[in-house]
Amino acid sequence: MTNFLSEVFFLDLEASSLAPNGWPIEIGLTWIDELDELVTWSSLIRPHPSWSTTAWCAEAEAIHRLTQAYLGIARPAEEVAAEANAMIADRLMISDGRKADARWLDQLLATAEHARGLPILDFDATAMRRFEGDALDALYTSPTRRRAPHRAGPDSRRLARAWMRTRSRVGG
């Protein structure tokens, strides 16, 4: 039987704003490797020319501590999309912001003419199916003890670490 955690990526994206025309500014993926260790990949994203700069939000900038000027020297969206697409392949992804992350991931992948193959699973719904009782309580206690940095790599790793610790307690 395969390990569920070895078959998924924990996904997080940060964005220019939560507005409908907002766009991704950073992507983070965390997965478990063959040594049962967490691996995290993340990348800042230079805005694609087709993305509206009017979707920039000063509050989001303050939260992420990323400026438009700083993103201007990040890797181009198409390059980040191609690399992310190669890693994601046909693996399941879990996100605690599934709807927004799906929209931003699709927007990112489209810059390189890629499309997501599988749906993104909701962290909460998936947790409810896999854990119960004290294990479920532990899953939610672990990430809430640490303040979310609102950066994609550390946020995806935070989710994966909580899941991995819970899994080791219940063997699932």
Looking up tokens 């191609």 gives 82
Whole-number pLDDT of residue 141: 77
Report whether pLDDT(33) > 60: yes
Mean pLDDT (the chain, rounded) = 89
Would you say the C-alpha torsion 147, 150, 151, 157 has a positive or negative sign? positive
Whole-number pLDDT of residue 2: 47
Domain-by-domain residue ranges, the chain?
Answer: 4-170
pTM for the whole structure: 0.91
Whole-number pLDDT of residue 7: 76
DSSP the chain: ---GGGGEEEEEEEES-SSTT--EEEEEEEEE-TTS-EEEEEEE-BPPTTS-GGG--HHHHHHHT--HHHHTTSPBHHHHHHHHHHHHTT-EEEETTHHHHHHHHHHHHHTTT---SSPEEEHHHHHHHH--HHHHHHHHHHHHTS-----HHHHHHHHHHHHHHHHHHHT-
Comparison of pLDDT for 125 and 36, the residue scoring more: 125
Q: Which CATH architecture has domain 4-170?
A: 2-Layer Sandwich (3.30)
